Amino acid sequence: MAGLLVTLKYVRTVKKQIMHFAAFLDDTGEFFDSTHFPDTLQKYPFRGNGVYLLYGKIVEEFGFPSLEVERMLKLPMKADPRAK
């Protein structure tokens, strides 16, 4: 899935490792949530605001779907020629 990063929450696990919960906006204007466990986050860290391509599996907890991220890539953005 591809989405624009909206929010990012930092959480410490029981083993004091960092993991993230994130919310993205897809190309249809819908929000989706993602979970980034410590091992995946070390290999594929967030690189600031922007659009990301996310690979993983959809899991449902408490009746709410979320993307459990296995791989992630920040997509390049073309500069706006009007900006100086």
CATH of the domain at 9: 2.40.50
What range defines the domain where residue 38 resides?
2-74
In a domain, 80, yes or no: no
Looking at the domain assignment, is residue 48 inside a domain? Answer: yes
49-65, pLDDT tens digit by residue?
Answer: 999 999 999 999 889 89
> Residue 21: how many CB atoms within 10 A of its CB?
14
Q: How far apart are the first and last CA of the chain?
A: 31
The two structure tokens encoding residue 20: 């993230």
Domain-embedded: residue 22: yes
DSSP 3-state assignment of 38? Answer: helix
36 belongs to a structural domain: yes
pTM, 2 dp: 0.87
On whether residue 79 sits in a domain, the answer given is: no
pLDDT in tens, 13-50: 999 999 999 999 999 999 999 999 999 999 999 999 99
Domain for residue 49, yes or no? yes
Domain count, the chain: 1
Task: Decide if 51 is inside a domain.
Answer: yes
